Structure 1
Amino acid sequence: MKTLQANAGVLTNLEVLEFLRARGATSDPMGCLGAVAPSECKVFDYLVNTPACNQTRGAIDEFLKRCEKFKLAKAEKFNIINLRPSNQALIDPIIEYCEKRLTKDEARGIDEVQELVDSVLEVLPPPPAKPDEEMQDLEEPPTAKPMEEN
């Protein structure tokens, strides 16, 4: 990958992750010696634990097509892609004047915020499972032990 113009635009987390992978960044501390700066490895470590690690360019393109009708700013679209909000409460702080810009008409059955959330959930892949969550799924639920009398 070659940078044609520095600071030419905003990147999604997926694009940053792809760039760092191309430079040789890894989660292995010993693998980050050489051409990759330690700060780049730290950014890589952060991004592999975000929704960006499961995203594809195709999914992002599909999401951008679906959200054209909402007339969102480019920064709002990128924030939604990077953060992958999964409910209406998480969309609201991303979109400026959300309640004014996105229609909610219960009489006609229109809720654009929920429609946007549904598009996010359908098109953008979920973030990776956290190690704690994986371990909880494997463990049996704790059982209550009777209290001993002294």
Structure 2
Amino acid sequence: MKILRENAGPLTNFEVLDFLRSRGAAKDSTRVLANVAPSEYKVYDYLVQTAACKQTSENINEFSERCKKYDLAKAEVLNIINIRPTSAVWIYPIIEQCGDRFGDVEELIELVKMVLPPRPTEPESEGGKPEEGIDEQVVQTAS
């Protein structure tokens, strides 16, 4: 791996996954033919199980633009993109002093649900939105 620009900034999980795919990482049996290190495959295998596998650069750019009105730190936006929280329980640990800065985080949660695609473990309802109560299922599968 060649470092093009040192300390260029933090990357979203989508950007890391996209980079690994560009190097040849995939789920198929030809892994030995690709120019990807075994440790990079471990990262790839993890990321394809997260929300990053369904995201696009357009989703991320739109979400970042629409988040500007909330005056979030770059790290907070990055964590929201990577984790894709769908309830206040998931938002509060991400945003510093969330209770003081936001009266109601429901608007931000709705923005996340509307702009960012669901995690691969989240079944979609008929309207194209994730079904309610999915947070508990994701937590149980992660344990």
**TM norm structure 1:** 0.75
Question: C-alpha distance in 2, partners of 1:37/1:98?
Answer: 39
- What RMSD in Å do the two structures reach over aligned CA positions? 1.6
- 2:58: which partner in 1? 58
Structure 2 unaligned runs (5+)?
123-143
Number of equivalent positions: 121
CA apart distance, 1:30: 4.1
Secondary structure of the 2:99 match is helix
Correspondence 1:100-115 to 2 at 5 A: 100-102=100-102, 104=103, 111=104, 113-115=105-107
State which structure, 1 or 2, has the greater radius of gyration over its C-alpha atoms: 1
Question: C-alpha distance in 1, partners of 2:10/2:112?
Answer: 20
- 2:112: which partner in 1? 120
Question: C-alpha distance in 2, partners of 1:72/1:13?
Answer: 19
- How big is each residue's C-alpha offset from its partner over 1:17-68, in whole Å with a ceiling of 9 and x where there is no partner? 0000001112235414552100000100000000000001111111111110
**TM norm structure 2:** 0.79
Letter in structure 2 aligned against 1:7: N
Question: C-alpha distance in 1, partners of 2:90/2:34?
Answer: 39
Letter in structure 1 aligned against 2:114: E
Question: C-alpha distance in 2, partners of 1:79/1:8?
Answer: 17
Structure 1 unaligned runs (5+)?
105-110, 131-150
Q: Percent identity?
A: 57
Query: Are the equivalent residues in 1 in contact too, given 2:24–2:34 (CA < 8 A)?
Result: no
C-alpha change, 1:23 and 1:69, in structure 2 (3 Å) is same
| Deviant stretches of 4+, over 4 Å | none
